[in-house]
A and B are shown apart, each in its own frame.
Chain A
Amino acid sequence: SYELTQPPSVSVSPGQTATITCSGDKLGDKYASWYKQKPGQSPVLVIYQDKKRPSGIPERFSGSNSGNTATLTISGTQAMDEADYYCQAWDSSVLFGGGTKLTVL
Chain B
Amino acid sequence: QVQLQESGPGLVKPSETLSLACTVSRGSISNYHWNWIRQPPGKGLEWIANIHYSGSTNYNPSLKSRVTISVDTSKSQFSLKLSSVTAADTAVYYCARSSDGSGSFVWFDPWGQGTLVTVSS
A residues bordering B, Cβ < 8 Å? Answer: 30-31, 33, 35, 42-45, 48-49, 54, 86, 88-90, 92-99
Contact = CB atoms under 8 A, between A and B. Distances in A.
Contacts of A90: 102-104, 106
Contact of B112 (A42, A88, A95): A42
B61 interface: yes
Contact of B113 (A35, A42, A92, A94): A42
State the majority secondary structure of interface residues on B.
loop
Nearest to B45: A96
Nearest to B98: A94
Interface residues of B, number: 22
Contacts, number: 57
B27 to A, nearest CB: 15
A44 to B, nearest CB: 7
B32 interface: no
Contact of B104 (A31, A35, A86, A96): A31
Given A93-B60, A93-B61, A45 B44 contact: no
Interface in B92-120: 94, 102-114
A31 B47 contact: no
A88 B44 CA distance: 11
A35 B44 CA distance: 12
Given A88-B107, A96-B44, 15 more contacts: A31-B104, A33-B107, A35-B45, A42-B94, A42-B112, A44-B109, A45-B107, A45-B108, A48-B109, A93-B47, A93-B60, A94-B60, A96-B47, A99-B44, A99-B45
